[in-house]
Amino acid sequence: MKPQTAHCPCHSGLAYRQCCARWHEGEAAPSAEALMRSRYAAYVLGLEDYLLKTWHPSTRPSVLRLADEQPAKWLGLDILRHENTGEDLAEVEFVARYKVNGKAEKLHEASRFVCQAGQWLYLDGDFIEA
């Protein structure tokens, strides 16, 4: 685990312990944006169990197998928009930048989230092509 003073991988500017660590350790994220940031940080840290736990059961894959994929070097996350679209629904548009085999890539997505029993879950998303 990261030390108390290390910056959070989600690029919030906060230390990991004051940011995404608490969500990774079981506390419910208070918003879809916080969950989005924590999921990005979980990809950076390789926390597959957390990613699956915070994925809605109706769209969740049975396994991720991140270790089987080409290793990505995550470079940054920009949240472009966070909007509540209903009482328990929200959408977060983001751009995640990374490198695979030295080639710069980006993932631009409008993700949908639902809050069930006080817990935000990733539902699905639409990729946005530049």
| Length of the chain counted residue by residue | 130
Q: What's 116's domain CATH number?
A: 3.10.450.50
pLDDT-based confidence at residue 5 (cuts at 50, 70, 90): low
Q: Is residue 8 part of a domain?
A: no
Count of structural domains, the chain: 1
pLDDT number for residue 67: 83
Q: Is residue 99 part of a domain?
A: yes
Over the stretch 44-75, which tens digit does the pLDDT of each residue have? 999 999 999 999 999 999 999 888 888 899 99
Q: Is residue 1 part of a domain?
A: no
Q: Is residue 50 part of a domain?
A: yes
Q: Is residue 81 part of a domain?
A: yes
Evaluate whether 90 touches 82 at the Cβ level (below 8 Å): yes
Stated as kind and residue range, the H or E segment containing 94 is strand 89-100
pTM of the model: 0.92
Q: How far apart are the first and last CA of the chain?
A: 35
Over the stretch 103-120, which tens digit does the pLDDT of each residue have? 999 999 999 999 999 999
Q: Is residue 6 part of a domain?
A: no
Q: Is residue 11 part of a domain?
A: no
pLDDT-based confidence at residue 2 (cuts at 50, 70, 90): very low
Per the structure, the complete domain to which residue 47 belongs is given by 16-127
